[in-house]
Structure 1
Amino acid sequence: MSNELKMTVEELETFIDTEFPQVHHGGRSFAIEGIRPMGATVRLFYHDRHLRPGGTISGPAMMSIADYAMYIAILAQLGPVALAVTTNFSINFLRKPEQKDLMADCTLLKLGKRLAVAEVSMRSEGSDDVVAHVVGTYSIPPRG
């Protein structure tokens, strides 16, 4: 696979807004901070709806931003593929996130014709400490 990007941040945002408007139910939760060959960085806005008791970002919210980061990295590399789906997802929660936005940085480890394998490191905004580490696999549908 080429390392040439097929979509810009603006094109990715438009695609998500059009194909997955439900992701913004209750207000925007995610922002695409940047894309690069074989990777992307996204943000989860710190908000009450993402919290668990104790004021920390919940596990499901952290899983959601990791999955979103993987999907954005894949789309940036391949172009608009709405039916690419997660087939495997493993997360290690390493430490409690701070009460700040959560940054998820994704690197595609392998991008083949049918499968993409990605790694995501999550950090609280402004911190170098990794709060969660994810490895995931996406199934990519055949291209016409």
Structure 2
Amino acid sequence: MASSPRTRRRLVITALALGALGTAAIASGPVIAARPSAPVKPAPQRALAFATEFALNLSRSNFREGPIRLQIKNIGEDDHDVVISRPNGKVVARSRVIPSEGLGEVRVRLGPGRYRVWCSLTGHRAHGMETTIVVKKAPARRDRS
């Protein structure tokens, strides 16, 4: 099958053109369609509470609004629990009852305001197992566009 010089020239030109297009595509990298990014879920703020007769001590008392993970270590002889409530008394979170030397946890999302943290077992709050935490509004997020 013989081809004319004109046909061979067209094939060579076509091959060179396709090669140039392929090189340009490789050099410019892959084409990725821009998608709107999903909002990043904030990591929970963490705090540790030590419960004993009759005190409740937190490793921190100030938080930003958002998720909070409060871990509780009962270093006392009695069982304890932890309740988080608004100043009006509305309970927003509570732990299970934690035995002596046990660990517990409360995971909660709090908005700005003051909250009471206390032990709800009979007489414990009255004997001083209560403290306050303050939750402040999170700083405005900057747009990175």
Structure with greater contact order relative to length (CA < 8 Å, sep ≥ 6)? 1
Higher-Rg structure is 2
Greater share of helix: 1
**Quick check: TM above 0.5?**
no
TM-score of the pair, normalised by structure 2: 0.30
